[in-house]
Amino acid sequence: MNKRLKIVLENCPQNHKCPAVKICPVGALSQKDFEAPVVDYDKCISCGKCSNLCKNKALIL
């Protein structure tokens, strides 16, 4: 069973551009303004780069 990325909205400050969006190697994360990122699960390869980067633990793999 593959792990699936989860966005924890309570942990996401939603007051800046999410750096995890740029670090995703397959472009599976997108963000509108300062809202929480959105995951395109058809693209996500569950590599963990975004969850490792997020110090707020808003992206959990």
Q: Is the full-model pTM beyond 0.85? A: yes
> What tens digit of pLDDT does each residue of 5-58 get?
999 999 999 999 999 999 999 999 999 999 999 999 999 999 999 999 999 999
pLDDT category, 3, cuts 50, 70, 90?
Answer: confident
When divided into structural domains, the chain yields a total of 1
Asked, for residue 16, whether it belongs to a domain, the answer is: yes
What CATH number corresponds to the domain at position 14? 3.30.70.20
Query: Any long-range contacts for 13-21 (C-beta under 8 Å, 24+ apart)?
Result: 13/56, 13/58, 19/53, 20/49, 20/50, 20/51, 20/53, 20/54, 20/59
Asked, for residue 49, whether it belongs to a domain, the answer is: yes
Asked, for residue 1, whether it belongs to a domain, the answer is: no
Asked, for residue 35, whether it belongs to a domain, the answer is: yes
| Residue span of the structural domain in which 16 resides | 6-60
pLDDT at 1 over 90: no
